C-alpha cells in the first residue's frame, strides 16, 4: 500500500511540503497576553445572581391574586347564568365592571408579551 502511494506524484509532493514545514511558534507577547487575560478573568467578581428569594413572594402573590380573580369571575358568571333563562346568554349589570377590568388586564398582559417577544427578537438579531 505504501508503494502505491509513493508512485502518485501528487502524494510525493505533499509529503515533501509537509516534511519541510516549520513548526508553529506563537509571537513573543502572545503567551503573556493570554495569561494576563486568564488572570483578569480569575480575579473578576462573580456576576450578581438574580434575587429569587425576594422575587418569589411577589410571583406567588401575583398568581394568587389572578387565581382569586378568576375564581370570583367564574363564580359570578355561574350565578348570573343560573338566574337567566337558557335562551341567549345575557351579561348582567353586575358583570360588566369585572369584565371591563378583566379586559384591561388581558390587554396589559398582551402588550407586555408582545414587547417581550419583540425585544427577544431584536436582541437575537443584534447578538
Query: How do residues 5-40 score in pLDDT, each as one tens digit?
Result: 456 777 888 888 888 777 778 888 898 899 999 999
Please name the residues in contact with 72: beta carbons below 8 A apart, sequence gap of 6 or more: 98
Task: Verify that 117 and 85 share a domain, yes or no.
Answer: yes
> What is the arithmetic mean of pLDDT over 74-98?
73
* pTM of model > 0.95: no
**Side-chain half-sphere exposure of 27, counting CA atoms within 13 A:** 4
Task: Verify that 75 and 94 share a domain, yes or no.
Answer: yes
**Share of residues in the chain with pLDDT > 90 (%):** 32
Task: Verify that 35 and 70 share a domain, yes or no.
Answer: no
Print the domain residue range for 104. Answer: 54-126
Task: Verify that 67 and 107 share a domain, yes or no.
Answer: yes
Q: Is residue 31 part of a domain?
A: yes
Q: Which of 31-40, 65-74, 86-95 has the lowest mean pLDDT?
A: 86-95
Quick one: pLDDT at residue 127? 54
Amino acid at each position: 500500500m505504501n508503494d502505491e502511494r509513493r508512485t502518485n506524484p501528487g502524494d510525493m509532493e505533499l509529503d515533501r511540503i509537509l516534511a519541510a514545514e516549520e513548526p508553529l511558534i506563537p509571537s513573543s507577547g502572545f503567551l503573556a497576553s493570554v495569561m494576563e487575560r486568564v488572570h483578569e478573568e480569575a480575579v473578576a467578581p462573580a456576576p450578581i445572581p438574580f434575587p429569587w428569594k425576594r422575587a418569589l413572594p411577589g410571583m406567588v402573590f401575583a398568581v394568587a391574586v389572578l387565581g382569586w380573580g378568576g375564581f370570583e369571575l367564574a363564580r359570578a358568571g355561574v350565578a348570573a347564568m343560573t338566574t337567566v333563562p337558557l335562551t341567549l346568554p345575557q351579561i348582567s349589570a353586575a358583570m360588566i365592571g369585572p369584565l371591563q377590568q378583566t379586559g384591561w388586564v388581558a390587554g396589559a398582559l398582551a402588550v407586555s408579551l408582545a414587547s417581550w417577544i419583540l425585544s427577544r427578537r431584536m436582541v437575537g438579531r443584534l447578538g
